[in-house]
Structure 1
Amino acid sequence: MTDVLRVSMVQTTSHNTHAVNVDELRAAAAFAAEDGATMLAMPEAAGLMDRNKDHARAQITTEDQDPYIAACREEAAARGLWIHSGSCPIKSPDGRYLNHTVLVDPSGEIVARYDKIHLFDVFLEGRPATGESSRYAPGETAVLADTPFGPLGMTICYDLRFPHLYRDYALAGANVLFAPSAFTVPTGRAHWEVLLRARAIETGSYVVAAAQVGNHADGRVTWGHSLIVSPWGEVMADLGGEAPGQITLDLPLNAVESARRQIPNLKNARDYDFLRVPEGANAPTTQQKTPTGAFS
């Protein structure tokens, strides 16, 4: 396994047309190659950010026809890069879309695909309800990609709030976890950094979180602050919340084993029963415990 992953992380203000976003992808790939990067990491919705239903419907297509994914493959092969596409919407068999990411190797081949499992259906105070599931179908499968840098875990944005997914990746051997995102400003300000650092600390993994930033053509505003977090929970890079940008860093992969050796919480976890004590009841004895996950 390679000892170091040199990753170039991108922060963008993605457009509501593929063409503009493809140009940005090509520029980012050129920068990454010139900077000696091994892998390019793009944000969620890097291929297309368009909340106008009619306008989006006219553009969104299948993976094999998507111009952004095609550009990722072309740039990977032309520049000898691994490319994590971030994500783009593609058609789902049920008539909705999939929030879809691909991992492309330096020959231009897609070696892994992941569809966002957890959809952003939330009710923020003072804002309209967000129902991602009205337009998007959820993914069903966590995807761990074996690479020369070790196993890489694939997630997208709202997945970040489900720690068991990241723990499962770490238990399966993942040393780098990708979390491309397009966080809102209120949730970004309150939760973004602490969630990313928590996922890194809990799993002893690198977390690479390329993000969208600023005012988008479709009217959305995103938080930015693309982060790379070390297995010890230290913020290694923060691209800020004002403008697009790109940074290239070396990730020494032995830091994963070091963090997990020092705090072996993945090994120390134990199975346990779950007991609920009804209000006003005397504390029951341990013999009254119920099986793990059950409520009484």
Structure 2
Amino acid sequence: MRLIAATWTPVWHDAPDLWLDRYRAALAEVKADRDTLVIFPEYAALEAAFYGGVSLDAQDWMRRGADHFARYCDGIRTLVAETGATILGGSGFADSGNTVVNRALFCAPEGEVFVEKHMPTPYERALKMAAGRPGPVIDTRFGKIAVLICYDSEFPLLARRYVEAGAEILLVPSCTDTEQGARRVEIGCRARALEGQVLVAMAPLVGEVTRCEVIDVNLGQARVFCAPDLGAPMMAFWPMVRAMCRALPFWMGLSSDSVPGAKTRMSVSQTTGRRANPSL
């Protein structure tokens, strides 16, 4: 398994769907294939709406983002079909009945499932965003995976529910506009890895985005954490991760084949033939 956590800055495009070419080029850069699990950040899905030179307030961006979310998900499905990779697409505004939630598509060649942010931040609550449903534990060829979108990673009982249901890997797409917020999510990820004895991967939105006040300033750094225990010692994989970051400045990667002892801890990642079905 290769786990790739993206630090991503959405950009404006001259026409709809050009964002897909940018994603396609990024996946080609890291040679994404069937053995690759890729994580895009929270609110990265808004890039599908970044065309036309519009200037909107936060409420209107929520509406525009929701109107483009299905198109973004179709693009993620296309990338999965082209590469064979398993991709957690960036989250975005999505309609849920008469409300809007923060939702992401987890898509694999074997199947797909939507995940939602369960705990909106105070800013999101001010926008009248609704709390999403707790997501499933997803049975994949890499093992059992669950998703905690940004703020959700700061609440131990949410992660505990997933770990007790068998989750072995927690994915945390994030978007924070202050150093304090980025550090809170990072600390949450560290704590969840230690408490649950699981692998936790954090993929943040970064940089400045013009003409979109919802994600105008973004701070963070891709991180991969695990408890310093048998099979995945911290000191074994951090030098390799740093080397990959120097080569690929927009990505952080972890390969079980490159980590001494990791095959013992992550042997489930090498199994095949299991369908990506929710089990919770």
Q: CA separation of 1:177/1:253 partners in 2, compared to 1, >3 Å: closer, same or farther?
A: farther
Letter in 2 for 1:61: D
> How many residues of Structure 1 are paired with residues of Structure 2 in the alignment?
238
- Is the contact made by 1:6 and 1:36 (CA closer than 8 Å) also made in structure 2? no
- Give me the whole-angstrom Cα distance separating, in 2, the residues matched to 1:52 and 1:71: 24
1:85 to 89, 114, 117: 89
Identity %: 26
- Is the contact made by 2:153 and 2:185 (CA closer than 8 Å) also made in structure 1? no
- Give me the whole-angstrom Cα distance separating, in 2, the residues matched to 1:253 and 1:187: 35
- Give me the whole-angstrom Cα distance separating, in 2, the residues matched to 1:12 and 1:156: 15
The answer to whether the aligner puts 1:247 opposite 2:252 as a matched pair is: yes
TM-score of the superposed pair, with normalisation by structure 2: 0.74
The residue correspondences of 1:128-139 to structure 2 (distance < 5 A) are 130-132=123-125, 134-139=127-132
Task: Give the secondary structure class of the aligned counterpart of 2:82.
Answer: helix
Where structure 1 has 5 or more consecutive residues not aligned to the other structure, the ranges are: 122-129, 258-296
- Is the contact made by 2:148 and 2:170 (CA closer than 8 Å) also made in structure 1? yes
C-alpha displacement at 1:62, in angstroms?
7.3
What do the CA deviations read for 1:54-84 (whole angstroms, capped 9, x no partner)? Answer: 2442452276xx2211111001011111111
- Corresponding residue of 1:71: 75
Task: Give the secondary structure class of the aligned counterpart of 1:139.
Answer: coil
Report the more deviating stretch, 199-208 or 135-144: 135-144
C-alpha displacement at 1:106, in angstroms?
2.4
TM-score of the superposed pair, with normalisation by structure 1: 0.70
C-alpha displacement at 1:247, in angstroms?
3.0
2:7 to 5, 8, 11: 11
Letter in 2 for 1:99: N
- Is the contact made by 1:11 and 1:42 (CA closer than 8 Å) also made in structure 2? yes
- Give me the whole-angstrom Cα distance separating, in 2, the residues matched to 1:6 and 1:80: 13
CA RMSD across the alignment? 2.9
C-alpha displacement at 1:38, in angstroms?
1.5
- Corresponding residue of 1:260: none
What do the CA deviations read for 1:219-277 (whole angstroms, capped 9, x no partner)? Answer: 4211121111123394845799xx960133214363379xxxxxxxxxxxxxxxxxxxx
What do the CA deviations read for 1:171-230 (whole angstroms, capped 9, x no partner)? Answer: 111110011000222423542332211111011111111110111122421112111112
- Give me the whole-angstrom Cα distance separating, in 1, the residues matched to 2:208 and 2:159: 30
The answer to whether the aligner puts 1:192 opposite 2:185 as a matched pair is: yes
Q: Is the helix fraction higher in 1 or 2? A: 2
- Give me the whole-angstrom Cα distance separating, in 2, the residues matched to 1:253 and 1:204: 16
Q: CA separation of 1:59/1:199 partners in 2, compared to 1, >3 Å: closer, same or farther?
A: closer
1:25 to 23, 26, 29: 23
Q: CA separation of 1:131/1:106 partners in 2, compared to 1, >3 Å: closer, same or farther?
A: closer
**Structure with the greater alpha carbon radius of gyration:** 1
- Is the contact made by 1:8 and 1:41 (CA closer than 8 Å) also made in structure 2? yes
- Corresponding residue of 1:52: 58
Letter in 2 for 1:164: L
- Give me the whole-angstrom Cα distance separating, in 1, the residues matched to 2:163 and 2:11: 34
Task: Give the secondary structure class of the aligned counterpart of 1:187.
Answer: helix
Where structure 2 has 5 or more consecutive residues not aligned to the other structure, the ranges are: 48-55, 257-261, 268-280
Q: CA separation of 1:222/1:71 partners in 2, compared to 1, >3 Å: closer, same or farther?
A: same
Task: Give the secondary structure class of the aligned counterpart of 1:143.
Answer: coil
Q: CA separation of 1:183/1:59 partners in 2, compared to 1, >3 Å: closer, same or farther?
A: closer
Ranges of 4+ aligned residues in structure 1 off by more than 6 Å:
none
The answer to whether the aligner puts 1:106 opposite 2:112 as a matched pair is: no
- Give me the whole-angstrom Cα distance separating, in 1, the residues matched to 2:192 and 2:34: 28
